[in-house]
Structure 1
């Protein structure tokens, strides 16, 4: 997860965390009932008002024929006649004949903190052609994101400050520095968010979906969520089962309330260690191209030489160990990053720093967007669930975990540490679960070696959503299965969205071929504290 975080083998948490989880207050029954009535009222208003679509704001950089509009949702669903916020929405109409049209397909890419406004551009992608003929493609920016009542917690220039450090085994003095930063960040969120801060949470994201459904004139929601989008999509299915049409859950978050979110993040760090090994093994197989080592350990040593080099003298004055780590984290998300990341390491050791600078240096033009995404990520995860409030718990768990999973453990912890000092009340996570017959069939997609949303999460979601089908991409680790290079997965998604068919008993399919060495791939980019937003695609 910047996302959304998750699973794998995990350290056993101590009694302090367990007691905190047990003691955390849940939303009361009265508040839950009041919010449910608030959703009904807001949805009725939205159905009457609809969405007036017109030219998209220039800031969205969306081409014709995509149009944009807004939908009003309550800030607080227990007060539906109180303050409202506007969510921005994008749309491209179904391109097929009227008899082919099946309604609107709403997409969320994850996070928390990611915007899906770009989604209608998928209509131009060849393997989306038949889906785009049948559905209006709908993107939107969730509450807090982009132009949707945007949340900010610090100056964007401070957010992407560079170079920064990223010690695998931090000293006590470094830990104190990060604790102070986490406290300041949480206080910044409180100042900026004010009374609205507690209302950035997953339950409200799910409720917003139902208001959006009504505003689009849909009796039932057809939805595709990726990474974190699977979590509040699953909450939606639990809260509004009679409003579900078809739902695709791509790269699923583990929805077990005991996992949200502290344990999920620990599990995620374990999974990233495995993916880091996958990347280094691939680089070693192509030593003739990269000259970084003939086995994974030799490649790790080459990487450590680069880390030591940028720690001593940051590349381009902006790429230190923190920016290097953020860039290399992308290799844990997407196989497509492997060639360019390996090439950057190789070129650096040959004396050419430019590829690493291009891929890892912060981008000032994206600072505001990255800071906004980080603010929403933090607010949602901190508001959703109880977190340990004693740093000794974080220290114990992450110190132990870093001994066997050093690649991402402490960076993951620092990203989430503001939740230890969060000013808004924390709630017990909502339960995701449906009974047989409550939902139409739903489709879950997962890669077996996904690090951002480890595979155990998809299995857990499959258990909790009665009647769901799970399609597994075997021996694959790219985060986000739909819309990729696997034609078999694409066929499953298309058959489901167009005909409502899910594979009997789910299915398992092999991964597409690994990337070729030496070229192509995604350049990606670095940044400051916000690098984990990749996890959100979370998450995510």
Structure 2
């Protein structure tokens, strides 16, 4: 289950797949005492104490802000630095890794400043380093918040510049073409199982020392160390997609360390959902949002000429898949590449017009338009490294966070059943996650997310028809975090609501971040504007 950007087709038959994206308070702030570290569940006392030790060190060291390296693509006045954390919090004096962080100072006065706002875009595997660019690019949605807060991004452990992990050579990762993820025969399934096992083994061979520590609880502990390094007594946090689960775990382990928290497009944090069930639920939700897109395309047939009904659009989609399966378009775009390209439409409304336009061009006879849009770029060395790394982190975190079925019979039964009614993503999603069935390091029991002492009111934002993080996840977290408020964007399904223009949502986000005030009750907002061709 990947949020924040489309999934990669890591295990499509034939090869690996490709992705389808300050003024500091002077002086050190003392970290909370060990007794106050709300991570001390039975069996986790050592990690809790380790987190306190690491935070105390970071508070004393601070962050040495410098101009960002030229090849990071982060313009001045954004500055970059490093925060040191233990690889294993149970051994705080053992091996250390460095986490890349960046920031831009609040644009308002010193009196207006309310601290740092730390961001995670999801994944797992996404980098948050571009968050300060919302200020440098003058994104109007964040103008008011930027007056009050330094915007802070970071690469989580294993990601990008933060001790990056890898599971396969990046160029191998993007090779094409790949066969249809939907299996025709048992032999197809056997081949995919072999690839999944090889991918899991590759993760261990290339990144074995990191894998046991690639967990959401450890990333939450890292987040608290970053808070201390920033000189902040309490954390202001914005998490999107998987970033909501990171926020939920942080809120459980460190409830008294939060000042304000917004979670947008929410992963259901229940132990039963993390992560096998979450991916099955995602398959169902993707099918629903795919149909929403097809309905929209049909309603705009005068522009796209793809059919006046959902069934007509679906027929053209199936015909395209069959054609590419028989003879990959341009020799490089098969069904796996098509899914990687088309799935951005159910992810984001902003992709509705571009995807429909390319589809329309193809049906009108322009095959090259589809090849240009969907084929991997083997020449993009840096991009391929980023894509491979992001997928490696995704796999490592989800596989290590929780126990997965080890029996192929279970996987085969569940995905065969789902594919009958929800075929768009089911098998592609299954192959992406199947390395977890043979994961080579210990798989943990997820944190029991719940309200702890000192947890402030949390703002939850969710679209009703989100494909990547189904709506039930927001309801689940809302029940677990007492005093939270839920903003529902009704009859909408774009992933990541706080980045969209919807005054009903935008004004409440601003109000909460600037004043801490929430509505007396949950709020339902009308949807943002539907894309226009």
TM-score normalised by structure 2 residue count = 0.91
Choose the corresponding residue for 1:336, options 341, 350, 369.
350
Show CA shifts across 1:411-463 (max 9, x none).
0100000000000011111110005x631111000000000000000000000
Instruction: Measure the CA separation in 2 of the matches of 1:279 and 1:411.
Output: 19
Q: Which runs of 4+ in 1 moved over 4 A?
A: 27-31
| Structure 2 unmatched runs, 5+ | 6-38
Name which of structure 1's ranges 459-468 and 187-196 shifts more when overlaid on structure 2. 187-196
Cα contact 1:68–1:88 (8 A) shared by 2: yes
Equivalence for 1:271 = 285
Q: CA deviation at 1:313?
A: 2.6
Matches within 5 A, 1:526-537: none
3-state SS, counterpart of residue 98 of structure 1: coil
Q: Does 1:180 align with 2:194?
A: yes
| Structure 1 unmatched runs, 5+ | 6-26, 518-540
Cα contact 2:4–2:240 (8 A) shared by 1: no
Equivalence for 2:24 = none
Instruction: Measure the CA separation in 2 of the matches of 1:346 and 1:423.
Output: 45
Equivalence for 2:86 = 74
Choose the corresponding residue for 2:129, options 117, 121, 140.
117
Instruction: Measure the CA separation in 1 of the matches of 2:184 and 2:410.
Output: 16
Q: CA deviation at 1:515?
A: 0.6
Cα contact 2:269–2:449 (8 A) shared by 1: yes
Equivalence for 1:467 = 483
Instruction: Measure the CA separation in 2 of the matches of 1:222 and 1:125.
Output: 20
Q: CA deviation at 1:166?
A: 2.4
3-state SS, counterpart of residue 251 of structure 1: strand
Cα contact 1:448–1:455 (8 A) shared by 2: yes
Show CA shifts across 1:200-256 (max 9, x none).
110001000100000000000000000000101111111111101000000010000
Equivalence for 1:454 = 470
Cα contact 1:3–1:112 (8 A) shared by 2: yes
3-state SS, counterpart of residue 433 of structure 1: coil
Q: CA deviation at 1:330?
A: 0.4
Instruction: Measure the CA separation in 2 of the matches of 1:260 and 1:470.
Output: 21
Instruction: Measure the CA separation in 2 of the matches of 1:339 and 1:211.
Output: 42
Matches within 5 A, 1:3-402: 3=3, 31-123=43-135, 124-364=138-378, 365=380, 366-402=383-419
TM-score normalised by structure 1 residue count = 0.90
Instruction: Measure the CA separation in 2 of the matches of 1:117 and 1:410.
Output: 32
Cα root mean square deviation, aligned: 1.5
Name which of structure 1's ranges 490-499 and 190-199 shifts more when overlaid on structure 2. 190-199
Equivalence for 1:506 = 522
Show CA shifts across 1:475-523 (max 9, x none).
0000000021212211111000000011221200011121111xxxxxx
Instruction: Measure the CA separation in 2 of the matches of 1:195 and 1:387.
Output: 21
Instruction: Measure the CA separation in 2 of the matches of 1:397 and 1:4.
Output: 25
Instruction: Measure the CA separation in 2 of the matches of 1:476 and 1:298.
Output: 23
Bigger relative contact order, structure 1 or 2 (CA pairs below 8 A, ≥6 apart): 1
Q: CA deviation at 1:55?
A: 1.3
Q: CA deviation at 1:316?
A: 2.6
Cα contact 2:4–2:121 (8 A) shared by 1: no
Instruction: Measure the CA separation in 2 of the matches of 1:330 and 1:59.
Output: 27
Instruction: Measure the CA separation in 1 of the matches of 2:517 and 2:41.
Output: 37
Equivalence for 2:29 = none
3-state SS, counterpart of residue 86 of structure 1: strand
Instruction: Measure the CA separation in 1 of the matches of 2:131 and 2:530.
Output: 26
Instruction: Measure the CA separation in 1 of the matches of 2:40 and 2:76.
Output: 46
Show CA shifts across 1:84-105 (max 9, x none).
1000001100111111000000
Equivalence for 1:10 = none
Cα contact 2:167–2:392 (8 A) shared by 1: yes
Equivalence for 1:488 = 504
